Amino acid sequence: MSGRHNIAFGFLFMGLFMVYGFLLIYLRDFSPDKEAWIASDGNGPHFEARLAHVHGNLFAFLNIVIGFLLLRSAMPARQHRTIAWLALLGMLMPVGILLEIYLHASPIFVLLGAVLIVLAVVLLGLYFLRTKDPLS
């Protein structure tokens, strides 16, 4: 696994969550039941759907940035792979929100993804803090 995969999957993930955002716009503004959607927009599944959309795009962007930085850094291969995998698996968080909404799945994927993306970001930050010339 390399930073290249984080960039590629980041863009693909972003594209999917952008399309999901367009679906949310349709449901709020153009669907036959738009009044019901608007009435319950601030709570429950509709609020969680917006959370999934926002976090999906944020985590996709984080993967693109992390992937770029991994490709540019002279980081040891094991650390590189670890951070790349943690960032990719962090995208389980917004997917987990969607699984909760539509399939009534356990929130375990939300929690797991959240912990993994935070860990990836912290490990990358620590690498840059400790390394004298991190992007050589």
Q: Which domain holds residue 13?
A: 3-130
What amino acid is encoded at 89 in this protein?
L
Q: Please tell me whether the overall predicted TM-score, pTM, comes out greater than 0.95 for this model.
A: no
| 113 assigned to some structural domain | yes
pLDDT tens-digit readout, 74-122:
999 999 999 999 999 999 999 999 999 999 999 999 999 999 999 999 9
Cβ atoms of 122 and 87 within 8 Å: the answer is: no
| 49 assigned to some structural domain | yes
| 136 assigned to some structural domain | no
| 46 assigned to some structural domain | yes
| 61 assigned to some structural domain | yes
Q: What is the number of structural domains in the chain?
A: 1
Task: Return the C-alpha torsion angle 109, 112, 118, 120, nearest 10.
Answer: -100
| 82 assigned to some structural domain | yes
| 135 assigned to some structural domain | no
